[in-house]
């Protein structure tokens, strides 16, 4: 039956025929390089970086790699600004290139900008972290660049194969980054765990992709969209199987329950700046891919996949908030809270509207800032060897380091959704998008779990600020262990995320406006 | 769907055969086990010493270099067959690919993947020297057993 439907695929439209009759020369796609500047900067930065590391003498100044990464990430951000105008105006508009394999639109640019910000702040935190742990070297930063390159490919992919290549570039870089702390067994273990489970998830994603190709006759999202809107499938088993498997693959990559099992272990074991990078950039890219594929590509089949997202969102919210409360390790707490945040963002995906997409993007923007900052502070507070990451190790942190504790408290309050912070506006956005579609149940679950996870954030804050003698009248314990050294680069990174969190909360208008404009536009490849 | 019926029938037969064999052997065997019978089947003479477990990590590096060039050949060979038809697009794509591959090769060689001399300690750190292996060296540090194993580096709790 599917074969009969396939036979009706129009051969005119979407792509040009592969071989022209008159000559033997193949019709090759033209590539608008200028639209790919952000990706090119990241890619060439990584490749040239690898070559330079090989050719230059080993004794280079230690700050050079971090500096180069910050400069390249900032350069990528700057290169997005003119593109934002170009793909937004009516005359030029969004483009599709490489035979429709990639689509440059404001959605992709917004996500790429978030990823670059994550790279920039991660590099700032990583500089002093890596030196403290005796791991300094250019490899960390090179992997950060390749991960960002893969992530930005995911953000602009218009084809499931290109999306998968992006996922793999990002994933393989993050596996290595996770295992980067060569002297901690937990880091090695987390890297191996992430590699095995991540490879499995990639295989599931690929299998779903193959089934979707079988069901719709194309891997191109635009062609899939056209195919699904033009006909009614008499048998949709193959499509359902493909959608389910792809959703499982994406669910793993974003760390949503019930595919979240790896998240706490990997976030705990990974070098802490890498945990922050995974919570921000990797999550952002995976959600970007999810939105491109499901909300846009399978937009007309939304009723097929929305129930899956519903279950994933409810489970993520419940698991993330409830299990985080009973954790004793701060990194694990933040990992579970990132599962809960994934649940909130799934609210925006579930609504399957432009409002939901823009709310999800705003949420990702504010969570990027909050996650990077929180993990950055934990990296500092855990001190050399990352031995002190228990909740009890933070006791008295506020008296020893009032500034850091205040910033941490602010970021945690923002994550719980206190007004005047980015987290509040973000939560308001996704819950509003859900209510807009009449999903009251989902909105109620989200609000209840927000209250539950607030308890967990308060546990961390209480342990930092209130040095009590305990319940049984013990001696109040002060801040123990070696002093926390805060380098000026970490201060700059922390400053960026704190200012961003407050800015998103007090004056959300600008970013809200950008996220509203950042819609996915799928256009045909005009060969421009 | 009728054409798939033989496959279904074959699948059912195979399952039945496996199940019946298992059940039959359970029912019919006399049931007098000894150590030799319980041991997994192994050809040849039983090992007297444990097989060597470690070998230099260098073999992995050589294998990785091989894979780098293997992948390059996989792409270059079909390209040479159609490079005229592909025109400048194909040339640019292959150059991009080759540059990326070559850069990684440069990196691997510069980090000593092809140095077959005595082991070179790339980076030494004073922290957390344990008698066990680390991932930067396969040399076991002797004389340090039981000393200075860092506490607090507990395994990842499940």
pLDDT: is A178 or B83 the higher one?
Answer: A178
A387 CB neighbours in chain B (<8 A) are 150, 152-153
Q: Is some CB atom of chain A closer than 8 A to the CB atom of B127?
A: yes
- Residue A527 predicted with pLDDT over 70: no
> For chain A, how many residues are written?
528
Is there a domain that residue B59 lies in? no
Q: Is some CB atom of chain A closer than 8 A to the CB atom of B124?
A: no
Range of the domain at A233: 31-517
Is there a domain that residue B47 lies in? no
Measured CA to CA, the distance from residue B124 to residue B146 in angstroms comes to 20
Are A25 and B153 an interchain contact pair (Cβ–Cβ within 8 Å)? no
Measured CA to CA, the distance from residue A357 to residue A295 in angstroms comes to 8
Q: Which residues of A touch B (CB under 8 A)?
A: 24-26, 28-31, 47-48, 50-51, 53-55, 134, 137, 182-186, 188-190, 193, 265, 268-269, 329, 384-385, 387-388
B136 CB neighbours in chain A (<8 A) are 182
Is there a domain that residue A3 lies in? no
The model's confidence at residue A1, banded by pLDDT at 50, 70 and 90, is very low
User: Residue A220: left if φ>0, alpha if ψ -120 to 50, beta else—which one?
Assistant: beta
Measured CA to CA, the distance from residue A398 to residue A506 in angstroms comes to 25
Q: Given B84, B103, B123, which is nearest A51 (Cβ)?
A: B103
Is there a domain that residue A17 lies in? no
DSSP string, A382-449: TTGGG---BGGGGTTHHHH-HHHHHHHHHHHHHHHT-TTSHHHHHHHHHHHHHHHTT-HHHHHHHHHH
Q: What is the pLDDT of residues A40-65, one digit of tens each?
A: 999 999 999 999 998 887 777 888 99
The DSSP symbol for A477 reads: P
Is there a domain that residue A16 lies in? no
The model's confidence at residue A482, banded by pLDDT at 50, 70 and 90, is confident
Q: How many domains does chain B have?
A: 1
Measured CA to CA, the distance from residue A48 to residue A44 in angstroms comes to 6
Range of the domain at B77: 68-113
What pLDDT does residue B30 have? Answer: 83
- Residue A10 predicted with pLDDT over 50: no
Is there a domain that residue A10 lies in? no
Q: What is the pLDDT of residues A183-203, one digit of tens each?
A: 889 999 999 999 999 999 999
Q: Please report the sign of the dihedral spanned by the C-alpha atoms of residue A63, residue A65, residue A66, residue A69.
A: positive
Distance from chain centroid for Cα B65: 15
A31 CB neighbours in chain B (<8 A) are 89
- On whether the CB atoms of residues A377 and A410 are closer than 8 A, the answer is no
Burial class (CB in 10 A: 0-12, 13-18, 19+), A441: exposed
What pLDDT does residue B34 have? Answer: 85
What pLDDT does residue B142 have? Answer: 54
Q: Is some CB atom of chain A closer than 8 A to the CB atom of B64?
A: no
Q: Given B85, B127, B154, which is nearest A25 (Cβ)?
A: B85
Are B135 and A384 an interchain contact pair (Cβ–Cβ within 8 Å)? no
Are B155 and A29 an interchain contact pair (Cβ–Cβ within 8 Å)? no
Are B156 and A268 an interchain contact pair (Cβ–Cβ within 8 Å)? yes
Is there a domain that residue B151 lies in? no
Joined together, the tokens standing for residue A390 give 């228990």
Q: How many domains does chain A have?
A: 1
What pLDDT does residue B157 have? Answer: 41
Is there a domain that residue A8 lies in? no
- Residue B154 predicted with pLDDT over 70: no
For B85, the closest chain A residue by CA position comes to: A25
Element (H, E) at A103: strand A102-104
- On whether the CB atoms of residues A46 and A68 are closer than 8 A, the answer is no
> For chain B, how many residues are written?
158
For A328, the closest chain B residue by CA position comes to: B157
Q: What is the pLDDT of residues A89-124, one digit of tens each?
A: 877 788 888 888 999 999 999 999 999 999 999 999
For A267, the closest chain B residue by CA position comes to: B156
Is omega for the bond preceding A258 within 30 degrees of 0, making it cis? Answer: yes
- Residue A6 predicted with pLDDT over 50: no
For A30, the closest chain B residue by CA position comes to: B89
A134 CB neighbours in chain B (<8 A) are 123, 125, 127
Is there a domain that residue A6 lies in? no
* Nearest Cα to Cα of residue A137 among B146, B85, B107: B107
B134 CB neighbours in chain A (<8 A) are 182-183
Is there a domain that residue A118 lies in? yes
DSSP string, chain B: -GGGHHHHHHHHHHHHHHHHHHHHHHHHS-----HHHHSPP--SSPPSSPPP----THHHHHHHHHHHHHHHHHHHHHHHHHHHHHHHHHHHHHHHHHHHHHHHHHHHHHTTTT--SS-------STT--SS--SS-----TT-TTS-PPTT-PPPP-
What pLDDT does residue A520 have? Answer: 86
Measured CA to CA, the distance from residue A150 to residue A171 in angstroms comes to 8
Identify from A133, A183, A262 which residue to disrupt to test chain B contact, counting B C-beta atoms within 10 A and taking the largest count: A183
For A193, the closest chain B residue by CA position comes to: B156
- Residue A478 predicted with pLDDT over 50: yes
ipTM score: 0.78
- On whether the CB atoms of residues A64 and A136 are closer than 8 A, the answer is no
Q: Please state the rounded mean pLDDT for residues B94-122.
A: 81
Are A387 and B153 an interchain contact pair (Cβ–Cβ within 8 Å)? yes
What pLDDT does residue A506 have? Answer: 94
Q: What is the pLDDT of residues A121-170, one digit of tens each?
A: 999 999 999 999 988 889 999 999 999 999 999 999 999 999 999 999 99
A47 CB neighbours in chain B (<8 A) are 99-100, 103
Distances (CA, A) of A387 to A84, A188, A189, A378, A468: 44, 15, 16, 11, 23
Q: Given A53, A186, A384, which is nearest B107 (Cβ)?
A: A53
B127 CB neighbours in chain A (<8 A) are 134, 183, 384-385
* Nearest Cα to Cα of residue A208 among A198, A192, A219: A219
Q: Which residues, in sequence order, are bridge partners of residue A329?
A: A390
Is there a domain that residue B130 lies in? no
What pLDDT does residue B136 have? Answer: 60
Is there a domain that residue A1 lies in? no
Measured CA to CA, the distance from residue A514 to residue A507 in angstroms comes to 13
Comparing A72-76, A176-180, A346-350, A462-466, the range with the smallest average pLDDT is A462-466
DSSP reduced 3-state for A296 = helix
Measured CA to CA, the distance from residue A141 to residue A146 in angstroms comes to 9
Identify from A20, A132, A185 which residue to disrupt to test chain B contact, counting B C-beta atoms within 10 A and taking the largest count: A185
By DSSP bridging, strand A95-97 and strand A102-104 are antiparallel
Measured CA to CA, the distance from residue B106 to residue A330 in angstroms comes to 41
The model's confidence at residue A475, banded by pLDDT at 50, 70 and 90, is low
- On whether the CB atoms of residues A401 and A383 are closer than 8 A, the answer is no
- Residue A12 predicted with pLDDT over 50: no
DSSP string, A145-195: HHHHHHHHHHHHB-BHHHHHHHHHHHHHHHHHHHTT-TT-HHHHHHHHHHH
* Nearest Cα to Cα of residue A201 among A174, A220, A221, A180: A174
A185 CB neighbours in chain B (<8 A) are 153, 155
Are A384 and B127 an interchain contact pair (Cβ–Cβ within 8 Å)? yes
């Amino acid at each position: 039956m599917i074969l009969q439907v396939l036979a009706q695929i129009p051969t005119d439209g979407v792509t040009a025929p592969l071989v022209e009759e008159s000559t033997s020369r193949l019709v090759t796609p033209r590539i608008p390089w200028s639209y790919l500047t952000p990706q090119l900067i990241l890619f060439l930065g990584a490749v040239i970086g690898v070559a330079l590391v090989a050719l230059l003498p080993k004794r280079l100044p230690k700050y050079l790699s971090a500096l180069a990464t910050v400069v390249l990430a900032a350069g990528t951000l700057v290169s997005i600004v003119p593109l934002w105008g170009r793909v937004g105006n009516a005359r030029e508009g969004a483009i599709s290139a490489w035979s429709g394999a990639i689509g440059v639109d404001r959605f992709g640019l917004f996500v790429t900008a978030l990823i670059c910000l994550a790279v920039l702040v991660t590099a700032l935190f990583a500089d002093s972290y890596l030196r403290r742990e005796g791991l300094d070297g250019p490899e960390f930063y090179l992997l950060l660049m390749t991960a960002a390159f893969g992530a930005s490919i995911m953000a602009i992919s218009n084809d499931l194969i290109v999306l998968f290549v992006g996922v793999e570039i990002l994933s393989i870089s993050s596996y290595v980054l996770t295992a980067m702390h060569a002297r901690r067994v937990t880091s090695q273990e987390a890297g191996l765990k992430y590699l095995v489970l991540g490879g499995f998830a990639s295989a599931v994603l690929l299998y779903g992709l193959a089934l979707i190709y079988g069901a719709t006759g194309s891997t191109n999202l635009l062609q899939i969209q056209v195919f699904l809107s033009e006909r009614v499938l008499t048998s949709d088993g193959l499509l359902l199987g493909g959608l389910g498997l792809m959703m499982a693959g994406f669910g793993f990559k974003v760390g949503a329950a019930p595919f979240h099992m790896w998240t706490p272990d990997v976030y705990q074991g990974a070098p802490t700046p890498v945990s922050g990078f995974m919570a921000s950039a990797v999550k952002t890219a995976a959600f970007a891919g999810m939105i491109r594929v499901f909300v846009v590509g399978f937009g007309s089949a939304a009723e097929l996949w929305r129930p899956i997202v519903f279950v994933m969102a409810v489970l993520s919210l419940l698991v993330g908030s409830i299990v985080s409360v009973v954790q004793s390790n701060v990194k694990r707490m933040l990992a579970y809270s990132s599962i809960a945040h994934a649940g909130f963002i799934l609210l925006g995906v579930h609504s399957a509207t432009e409002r939901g997409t823009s709310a999800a993007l705003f949420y990702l923007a504010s969570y990027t800032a909050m996650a990077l900052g929180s993990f950055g502070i934990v990296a500092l507070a855990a001190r050399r060897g990352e031995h002190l990451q228990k909740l009890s190790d933070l006791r008295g942190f506020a008296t020893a380091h009032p500034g850091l504790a205040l910033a941490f408290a602010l970021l945690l309050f923002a994550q719980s959704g206190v007004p005047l912070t980015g987290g509040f506006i973000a939560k308001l956005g996704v819950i509003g998008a859900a209510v807009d579609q009449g999903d009251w149940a989902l909105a109620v679950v989200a609000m209840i779990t927000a209250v539950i996870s607030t308890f967990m954030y308060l546990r961390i804050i209480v342990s930092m600020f209130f040095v009590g003698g305990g319940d049984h009248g013990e001696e109040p314990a002060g801040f123990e262990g070696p002093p926390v050294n805060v380098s000026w680069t970490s201060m700059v990174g922390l400053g960026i995320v704190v200012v961003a969190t407050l800015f998103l909360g007090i004056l959300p208008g600008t970013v809200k406006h950008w996220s509203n404009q950042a819609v996915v536009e799928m256009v045909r490849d005009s060969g421009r | 769907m009728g054409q798939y019926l033989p496959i279904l029938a074959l699948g059912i037969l195979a399952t039945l055969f496996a199940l019946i064999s298992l059940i039959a052997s359970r029912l019919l065997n006399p049931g007098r086990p000894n150590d030799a019978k319980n041991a997994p089947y192994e050809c040849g003479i039983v090992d007297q010493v444990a097989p060597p477990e470690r070998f230099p990590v260098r073999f992995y590096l050589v294998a990785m270099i091989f894979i780098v060039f293997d992948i390059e050949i996989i792409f270059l060979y079909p390209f040479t067959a159609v490079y005229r038809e592909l025109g400048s697009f194909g040339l640019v794509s292959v150059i991009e690919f080759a540059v990326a591959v070559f850069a990684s090769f440069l990196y691997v060689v510069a980090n000593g993947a092809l140095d077959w001399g005595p082991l070179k300690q790339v980076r030494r750190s004073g922290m957390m020297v344990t008698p066990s292996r680390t991932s930067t060296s396969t040399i076991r540090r002797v004389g340090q057993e039981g000393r200075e194993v860092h506490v607090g580096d507990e395994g990842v709790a499940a």
